[in-house]
Amino acid sequence: MNGMRTEMLASFDGVELAVHRMGAGRPVLLLHGLFSDAHTNWVRFGHAAKLVEAGFEAFMPDLRAHGQSAKPHEPEAYPEDVLVRDVQALVTTLGLDEFDLVGFSLGARTAARVVIAGLSPRRLVLSGMGLEGLAGWARRAHFFIDAIDRYDEIRMGDPAFFAKSFMKTQKVDRVAARLLLQSVGDTTPGQLAGITMPTLVLCGSEDRDNGSPHALVEALPDARLAEVPGTHMSSVTESALGEHLVSFLQ
């Protein structure tokens, strides 16, 4: 109905990743958040459709251990920065030369780290992200690992209740997700100086789950801030998010 095509592509280690595509035109690679998938972040609330209408082709992988992508349970399938290596492999396999890169939450963290590792998108969007979410990842990861470990005992009122509820809704493979969480590296403020392309920090007005978006803008060489209504979870449902993507990437 929305013209979406899905293909399974092998990553650097042979693990199969689902990549969903919509539209035709300038490529934009969209990376979703933790426990989510491409459909939930980009398709369900119309953001990908807005990009397609504006003349882009949206490439939307389900990250390793998410969505329709493989969810291996072997620790060796989750080396350090495995998501960065997955994105590098997808860019090569898809033949993306001049493209834009967008990430939300874990996807934003991955996008920043893949640029630091040498990828050069034309423009970059870091959504649902603040400075502390990049530089203090270990603390954030511990919160989610704890939610996985205590999954069966978490009740309403527990700080991890909403994380548990989202995992349940998304039918998250908790073994795979826990392994993935341990593979994500920290990004130092000094490394952010290497992100030189025009960058949009796009955040919910009430979203400070990953720290200060204002501090992140200050730490980047060429960045600006845009806010949409809502919290970390609800900002993804706002049509304004897709509108800001189109405006910045055009």
pLDDT tens by residue, 16-69: 999 999 999 999 999 999 999 999 999 999 999 999 999 999 999 999 999 999
pLDDT score of 2 more than 70: no
Q: What is the pLDDT of residue 1?
A: 46
CATH number, residue 192: 3.40.50.1820
Q: Which residue has the tokens 């990250």?
A: 63
- Let me know if residue 146 belongs to a domain: no
The number of domains in the chain is 1
Q: What is the pLDDT of residue 180?
A: 97
pLDDT score of 195 more than 90: yes
Angle at 244 between CA 203 and CA 43, to 5 degrees: 85
- Let me know if residue 170 belongs to a domain: no
- Let me know if residue 167 belongs to a domain: no
Q: What is the pLDDT of residue 139?
A: 83
- Let me know if residue 174 belongs to a domain: no
Q: What is the pLDDT of residue 140?
A: 85
Range of the domain at 115: 5-138+187-249
- Let me know if residue 53 belongs to a domain: yes
- Let me know if residue 16 belongs to a domain: yes
- Let me know if residue 164 belongs to a domain: no
